Structure 1
Amino acid sequence: MVRRIALALLLCGLAIAPGRAQTPADDDAARARAVVADLMRIPGPDGVQETYRHPVNGLDHWISIRGQDRANPVVLFVHGGPASPTIPSLWQFQRPLEEYFTMVHYDQRGAGKTWREDHSEALGETLRIQTYVDDLVAIAEHVRAKLGKQRLVLVAHSWGTIPAMHAALARPDLFHAYVGIGQVVNVRENERLSLAYGLEEARRRGNAEAVREMEALLPYPGDAPLTRDRIVAARKWPQHYGGMAAHRDETNLWYYGAARLSPDYDAQDRAALSAGSLFSLERLLDEFVQVDFTGVREFPIPVVMFMGRHDYTTPSQITADWLEQVDAPFKRGVWFERSAHMVPWEEPGKTLVSLLEVVRPLVRE
């Protein structure tokens, strides 16, 4: 997947080589970014709109805080990846959410603007799941103090659900509730079901090439190490058949191209997306493939899962099964029938409604 992401970034023109002469296309993109920036501007006196760096555990992290009213509940959103920050694409779906919540995002260590702050070998040695958990807790403490809140709503997507689950279990005092989107429960089972879906679809559609490629990987994941190359090969066809974004064979242009119009990301930031992905995943992969939350039978705070019906990147049935057996003060699964893995982008309207109807009542200041 990393190679596909890097290629997508190049194909979308996100990485502008230093020193290259400006072109008419660059001028058009700059004007488009100005339009997006004006649309996203929060002019009211009660609102907040900040993008800034803040020191966290020895590294400056980049943080975005946006909302129409500081009195609203605060959502701390933990992005996926590893190293796929949400800040460059939040303009695609977040503006309605900002009317009801103060939305906080941050580029994790090794990702995006934070990768630009430091991507040394020494920093690379800190890329461990527990470090991301510690960073998340520190940022939650910072946001609480900055915005004058006792607790936050913790929302996480994809890879981000791993440090977020750990943080919720370790520091439930910080959070009103936890919302998992594209939840990771068991990575090896994710991979098995993902390939099984791709193979079933390829056979149904008579795609002999796809069937041949996937059958060559069986048994998968089996007992062999889950390397990057095996994962990339196994996810190729499930994602082609809509397992990443429902009924779409690619997400490259609309999702990975979002940074091209983001007012928060300049050319160097856009180039850092691909570089940060390569930097982070190779250091986290061994831990990532061992993640398994199936043994977690008690959850200390309300837990809500947003599940894409067509998600075969982190297959939703695993999440539904886990939610059924866990004991929590409150639990709810919300199915998104028109989504796969990219729920907030695929169904932004239902995302807003679900946060208001299911999650907002859990906020107790």
Structure 2
Amino acid sequence: MALQLVDLNGAQQGVIMKHNKDKAAPILLFLHGGPGFPAYPLIKAHGVQLEQEFTVCYWDQRGTGSSYKAAEGGKLLTLEQLLADTLELIAFLRKTYDKEKIYVLGHSWGSILGTMAAQKVPEQLHAYIGVGQIGIQFESEKEAYDFLVSEADRRSDERAKRKLARKKFDKSYYQNRAYGAVRFKYTNKYAVGFTRDGYNSSRLIREVMVCPEYRWIDKFNIFAGSGLSYQRLAKEISTINLIRTVPELEVPVFFLHGQYDYQTTYQQAYNFYTSLKAPVKQFHTFSESAHSPFLEEPKKFINLLKTIRETVAS
């Protein structure tokens, strides 16, 4: 289905609905990461069909792509506002599809929104699914930096060692664009970034530009929105501690995490998982994936979504 605009808290925001053939299929709201970078163009490019198990809503969050104008120049890009939009969209989907409950899947930055939405409205959700789950983001970032330094030393990668030494990690790392560039370069090189096979800028641009559901202005706004969203939200993301703020969820919880993920590290996601109280919780490892197992191991990912449906229904 083509992209459509819906009103969320007074702003027109874009969603793409991919329908399961069975009208009774449950709804899955996919909360993309970034912040400000939609998952749909990449999922489309890889031929991943999550609609085999759900009717899926891919939402361009406020400030992203087709929802770029809703950010109003960035002044409405706050965690509080985006969480309010998430809750509004959950209500919209429940009403539109006449569902008592839906599923929410949060990837990376979207896992913050998803976790907090599950805390706010557990009665409206079948389950929360966290992919590339964030826990304590500062600790995750420190672990990633330490890994890159160690890996550069193990490989005798002298250039990497010099660059990492010049871009020291500290509490204000999210403000240091040079640090971010070095981190991006070496997580890609060492197969621990967005995907194990690397995801450079030209690949991202190509997959966005060929996505037929987006207008040209939306495609350009994906990249503008990505920069603006990170600028406005980086501090909130980088200082988040979900172990402290979300000790318990009253819905079934499923974490799906790539073993080689150093965008949001496997260990920090597992730490959050072990601390979290929930009526049902499961942690699933994708042994051939980094940050995006739905792109890297799509068959296993979709099969696991089917298992999650069966577990929740039982």
Per the shorter chain, which TM-score range? over 0.9
Flag the 1:360–1:262 CA change in 2: closer, same or farther, 3 A: farther
Task: Tell me, in whole angstroms, the C-alpha distance in 2 between the residues paired with 1:280 and 1:56.
Answer: 18
Alignment pair present for 1:98 and 2:16: no
Scaled by the length of structure 2, the TM-score of the pair is: 0.93
Task: Tell me, in whole angstroms, the C-alpha distance in 1 between the residues paired with 2:155 and 2:284.
Answer: 30
Q: How many aligned residue pairs are there?
A: 311
Flag the 1:316–1:166 CA change in 2: closer, same or farther, 3 A: same
Name the amino acid aligned to 1:262: C
Alignment pair present for 1:187 and 2:137: yes
1:85 Cα offset (Å): 0.8
**Conservation of the 8 A alpha-carbon contact between 2:83 and 2:117:** yes
Flag the 1:119–1:324 CA change in 2: closer, same or farther, 3 A: closer
Is the deviation greater in 249-258 or in 72-81? Answer: 249-258
1:303 Cα offset (Å): 0.6
3-state SS of paired residue (2:241): coil
1:185 Cα offset (Å): 0.8
3-state SS of paired residue (1:257): helix
Question: Which of residues 218, 240, 245 in structure 2 aligns to 1:291?
Answer: 240
1:348 Cα offset (Å): 0.8
Task: Tell me, in whole angstroms, the C-alpha distance in 2 between the residues paired with 1:149 and 1:228.
Answer: 44
Task: Tell me, in whole angstroms, the C-alpha distance in 2 between the residues paired with 1:292 and 1:133.
Answer: 16
Alignment pair present for 1:53 and 2:5: yes
**Conservation of the 8 A alpha-carbon contact between 1:239 and 1:250:** yes
* Cross-structure match for 1:88: 41
3-state SS of paired residue (1:65): strand
Task: Tell me, in whole angstroms, the C-alpha distance in 1 between the residues paired with 2:237 and 2:290.
Answer: 21
* Cross-structure match for 1:271: 220
Alignment pair present for 1:196 and 2:149: no
Q: Which runs of 5+ in 2 are unaligned?
A: none
Flag the 1:224–1:273 CA change in 2: closer, same or farther, 3 A: closer
* Cross-structure match for 1:8: none
Question: Which of residues 223, 227, 232 in structure 1 aligns to 2:175?
Answer: 227
Name the amino acid aligned to 1:63: V
**Conservation of the 8 A alpha-carbon contact between 1:190 and 1:314:** yes
Scaled by the length of structure 1, the TM-score of the pair is: 0.80
* Cross-structure match for 1:145: 95
Question: Which of residues 137, 140, 164 in structure 2 aligns to 1:214?
Answer: 164
Flag the 1:73–1:338 CA change in 2: closer, same or farther, 3 A: same
Task: Tell me, in whole angstroms, the C-alpha distance in 1 between the residues paired with 2:48 and 2:162.
Answer: 44
Deviations 1:311-343 (A, max 9, x none): 001011111122123221000011001110011
**Conservation of the 8 A alpha-carbon contact between 1:194 and 1:313:** yes
* Cross-structure match for 1:111: 64
* Cross-structure match for 2:15: 63
Alignment pair present for 1:302 and 2:252: yes
Deviations 1:174-203 (A, max 9, x none): 111000111111111111111111112111
Question: Which of residues 70, 88, 109 in structure 2 aligns to 1:159?
Answer: 109
**Conservation of the 8 A alpha-carbon contact between 1:51 and 1:62:** yes
Task: Tell me, in whole angstroms, the C-alpha distance in 1 between the residues paired with 2:254 and 2:108.
Answer: 14
**Conservation of the 8 A alpha-carbon contact between 2:243 and 2:275:** no
Deviations 1:51-83 (A, max 9, x none): 310111121010111112221111110001111
Q: Which runs of 5+ in 1 are unaligned?
A: 1-48
**Conservation of the 8 A alpha-carbon contact between 2:135 and 2:271:** no
Flag the 1:114–1:363 CA change in 2: closer, same or farther, 3 A: farther
1:236 Cα offset (Å): 3.0
Task: Tell me, in whole angstroms, the C-alpha distance in 1 between the residues paired with 2:313 and 2:55.
Answer: 13
Alignment pair present for 1:128 and 2:78: yes
Give identity over the alignment, percent. Answer: 26
3-state SS of paired residue (1:185): coil
Task: Tell me, in whole angstroms, the C-alpha distance in 2 between the residues paired with 1:354 and 1:182.
Answer: 15
Flag the 1:65–1:232 CA change in 2: closer, same or farther, 3 A: same
**Conservation of the 8 A alpha-carbon contact between 2:13 and 2:70:** no
1:360 Cα offset (Å): 3.9
Flag the 1:228–1:266 CA change in 2: closer, same or farther, 3 A: farther
* Cross-structure match for 2:273: 323
Is the deviation greater in 54-63 or in 65-74? Answer: 65-74
Flag the 1:256–1:282 CA change in 2: closer, same or farther, 3 A: same
